[in-house]
A = this chain, B = another copy of it.
Amino acid sequence: MTPNLSRYLPIMEWGSRYNRADLSGDLVAAVIVTIMLIPQSLAYALLAGLPPETGIYASIAPIVLYTVFGTSRALAVGPVAVVSLMTAAAVGEVAQAGTAGYAVAALTLAGLSGAMLLFLGIFRLGFLANFLSHPVIAGFITASGILIAVSQLRYIFGIDGGGHTLPEMLMSLGRNIDGLNIPTLILGAGATAFLFWVRKGLKPLLQKTGLPEGAVNILSKAGPVLAIAVTTAATAMFGLGERGVAIVGTVPQGLPPLTLPSFAPDLVGALLLPALLISIIGFVESISVAQTLAAKKRQRIDPDQELIGLGAANVGAALTGGFPVTGGFSRSVVNYDAGAQTQAAGAYTAAGLLVASLFLTPLIYFLPKATLAATIIVAVLSLVDLSILKRTWIYSKADFAAVFITIALTLGLGVEAGVSAGVAVSILIHLYRSSRPHMAVVGRVPGTEHFRNIDRHKVETQDDIISLRVDESLYFANARFLEDRIYDMVANQPAVRHVILMCPAVNEVDMSALESLEAINARLRDLNVSFHLSEVKGPVMDRLERSHFLSQLTGQVFLSQHLAVSTLSTSPHPHTSKGKGASHV
């Protein structure tokens, strides 16, 4: 029980202090989450293009592994809508839905994603998730919600359909709408309407009956189970299966199978990028929920250990017939609200699902797929929030562009293109901004040792000295910009003999910027202008001393700009700039 071991096994920390109060809170939460998770698991398996039982399998071993390795006390792990959609898109590229190859590809995707998450966690690379800007995530989740809802319409209508983009799905629905099955539509539309009503209207109604709060909580989460029970019973009694209502059919009864992902290079290669995107999106979604819930109780989440927890969960999914999983938003909130005290709530949920897997699957033989589609549609429409477009439009056109591109490409080209483009646009916009850093020509505030921007302050300058302050670290994206700026200034001020680069805000000079400084030095030397630096930070100076730059420098490195100007100054009568401050002189 070394500190190092308990860092990687959070269960050793909380497990050793587990008490009765924790147990009772965790048990109540587990019952509620199990009731919620059974229909969700079946539905998200359907969304991922897999047999319904895989949804239950994907909720057992992964939850237990997260209990051991995860740091969030409230996170409920399992299949979630967006990741299931991404699974369908990725696996659909390499295998035909319904084949054995499809299931193996889904396992492989979970295994790859788990390995990547473990790798990122062990090497503490969780910061990578920060490269997804908040608006891009919001846009992606909204667009995915729309895609998912539309993808389920075919089950509500009882028709064939397909496609991984909005135009494909709509065209496919249009082509097949002739096959509309009326009994399916009645069941599906009825279940959808009922579930929407449950979201809004059931809890207040139950509270009026005077039932205890705990019972109200459990019952208000049982809407999907009730919808499943009623529509299954109706389908069985009225023989709707023979009237064209698609039913789940025989679902194997038993423990999750032991499975192995494929190691075929072609398959692994084709799934690498999707696995990476699923890992990132899954992690970002999960960590946001975990941090929000932890903050409410002043608990802390360790993002790198969370990567390990989610990685272990996905490896578990790959070995037990599942598909990629992550921490779900709505069910984690339910888990938290229901009083989950520790990760053990997850273990009890897994036990509940195991019972379901062993004994309850025959009961869902007549379950209409339309009911599962209804639970998905109602769940994902709560993710859709187009207001992000308006908010970013008002706040920042650059963020708006990133969101708009993400939403448009997700809907038009699919989830992978959408999220990739969103990341790329976020990064490009940032690089564009930092590639044009703020620079100011400075002069001395008369009577002081302070140097300020000549455009904003009334300051003294000299014809033979240019003092340029750069307000950003120098690196490859802005190195050329600095070169251009200095060459322009020197070309426009023929009397100049000295250029002083004032570096108080330069935290870094990378190799590209070093080469630019060398180029500036060499080019100014050809023009008989010396090049000086001032106010260089210690770590930057240490690094410059490891290069040949300082020995080639035509000028000096000064501790302060004041020292630089007084040392180099030859002109007894400095000019006063026409800064804004000068207008009233």
Indicate the member of A392, A436, A515 with the most B CB atoms within 10 Å: A515
Residues of chain B within 8 A of A478, CB atoms compared = 130
If A477-B131, A487-B295 touch, whether A511 touches B543 (CB-CB below 8 Å) is no
A392 to B398 Cα, complex, angstroms = 34
Mark the stretch among A132-140, A185-193, A216-224 that contacts chain B. Answer: A132-140
Q: Please list the 5 inter-chain residue pairs (A to B) with the smallest Cβ-Cβ separation, ordered nearest first.
A: A133-B476, A399-B511, A134-B512, A133-B512, A135-B511
Asked if A455 CB lies within 8 Å of chain B CBs, one says: no
Asked if A523 CB lies within 8 Å of chain B CBs, one says: yes
CB pair A523–B430 under 8 Å, yes or no, is no
Residues of chain B within 8 A of A132, CB atoms compared = 476
A435 to B395 Cα, complex, angstroms = 22
A523 to B299 Cα, complex, angstroms = 13
CB pair B392–A511 under 8 Å, yes or no, is yes
CB-contact partner of A433 in B399, B508, B514, under 8 A: B508
Asked if A360 CB lies within 8 Å of chain B CBs, one says: no
Whole-angstrom distance between the Cβ of A290 and the nearest chain B Cβ: 13
Asked if A547 CB lies within 8 Å of chain B CBs, one says: yes
Residue of B whose beta carbon sits closest to that of A477: B130
Whole-angstrom distance between the Cβ of A183 and the nearest chain B Cβ: 42
CB pair B394–A130 under 8 Å, yes or no, is no
Asked if A208 CB lies within 8 Å of chain B CBs, one says: no
Asked if A505 CB lies within 8 Å of chain B CBs, one says: yes
Asked if A356 CB lies within 8 Å of chain B CBs, one says: no
Contact code string A482-506 (vs B, CB < 8 Å = 1, else 0):
0000010001000000000000010
Residues of chain B within 8 A of A543, CB atoms compared = 395-396
Question: Size class of A's contact patch?
Answer: 35 or more
If A131-B431, A435-B127, A476-B134 touch, whether A505 touches B505 (CB-CB below 8 Å) is yes
A436 to B546 Cα, complex, angstroms = 24
A116 to B508 Cα, complex, angstroms = 33
A556 to B508 Cα, complex, angstroms = 33
A293 to B349 Cα, complex, angstroms = 71
Judged by DSSP, the binding face of A is helix
Give 13 A-B pairs besides A127-B436, A131-B477, A132-B476 with Cβ atoms closer than 8 angstroms.
A130-B435, A133-B512, A134-B476, A134-B512, A134-B515, A295-B523, A391-B511, A394-B546, A395-B514, A430-B475, A438-B507, A471-B505, A505-B505
Contact code string A360-396 (vs B, CB < 8 Å = 1, else 0):
0000000000000000000000000000000110111
Asked if A298 CB lies within 8 Å of chain B CBs, one says: yes
Whole-angstrom distance between the Cβ of A50 and the nearest chain B Cβ: 30
Residues of chain B within 8 A of A433, CB atoms compared = 473, 508
Asked if A464 CB lies within 8 Å of chain B CBs, one says: no
If A431-B131, A433-B508, A435-B130 touch, whether A426 touches B476 (CB-CB below 8 Å) is yes
Whole-angstrom distance between the Cβ of A336 and the nearest chain B Cβ: 16
CB pair B134–A511 under 8 Å, yes or no, is yes
Asked if A47 CB lies within 8 Å of chain B CBs, one says: no
CB-contact partner of A471 in B127, B428, B507, B514, under 8 A: B507
Asked if A578 CB lies within 8 Å of chain B CBs, one says: no
Whole-angstrom distance between the Cβ of A102 and the nearest chain B Cβ: 26
Residues of chain B within 8 A of A395, CB atoms compared = 511, 514, 543, 546-547
CB pair A510–B477 under 8 Å, yes or no, is no
If A505-B505, A507-B438 touch, whether A491 touches B130 (CB-CB below 8 Å) is no
A475 to B426 Cα, complex, angstroms = 10
CB-contact partner of A396 in B436, B473, B507, B511, under 8 A: B511
Asked if A263 CB lies within 8 Å of chain B CBs, one says: no
Residues of chain B within 8 A of A432, CB atoms compared = 127
Residues of chain B within 8 A of A562, CB atoms compared = none
Whole-angstrom distance between the Cβ of A288 and the nearest chain B Cβ: 10
CB pair B491–A298 under 8 Å, yes or no, is yes
CB pair B396–A476 under 8 Å, yes or no, is no
Asked if A479 CB lies within 8 Å of chain B CBs, one says: yes
Residues of chain B within 8 A of A480, CB atoms compared = 130
